[in-house]
Amino acid sequence: MESDKEEDSKSHFVKEIKYSKEEPWRSDVIFGQKEFLSHGHLALSGSKLWYLRDGDGTEIIVNGKVLN
């Protein structure tokens, strides 16, 4: 198991966004570099990838469809 000191030394973060019991099918995750305002966002609806945005703000998947 990692210590708090080891965890704090990592330059990136990942955080799951918790939703209410009314939306058990929904899972959202944000990720990116620590100390930067921009971050990536991943949204899942059930087992389907619904939305993906990278740390620079470029949308890759919107409403389940891959953008060009």
Please determine, for residue 6, whether its predicted confidence score (pLDDT) is greater than 70. Answer: no
Task: Give the whole-angstrom CA distance, residue 5 versus residue 66.
Answer: 39
**Residue 37 identity (one-letter amino acid):** L
- Confidence (pTM): 0.72
Task: Give the whole-angstrom CA distance, residue 57 versus residue 53.
Answer: 6
CA dihedral 56, 58, 61, 65 (to 10 degrees): -170
What is the mean pLDDT of the segment spanning 53-65? 94
What is the mean pLDDT of the segment spanning 35-44? 89
> In the chain, pLDDT over 90 holds for what percent of residues?
50
Report the domain count for the chain.
Answer: 1
Within 11-66, where are the H helices? none
CB of 55 closer than 8 Å to CB of 41: no
Q: By residue range, what is the domain housing residue 48?
A: 4-66
* Confidence category of residue 5, pLDDT binned at 50, 70, 90: low
Please give the structure tokens belonging to residue 38. 């921009």
What is the mean pLDDT of the segment spanning 7-11? 73
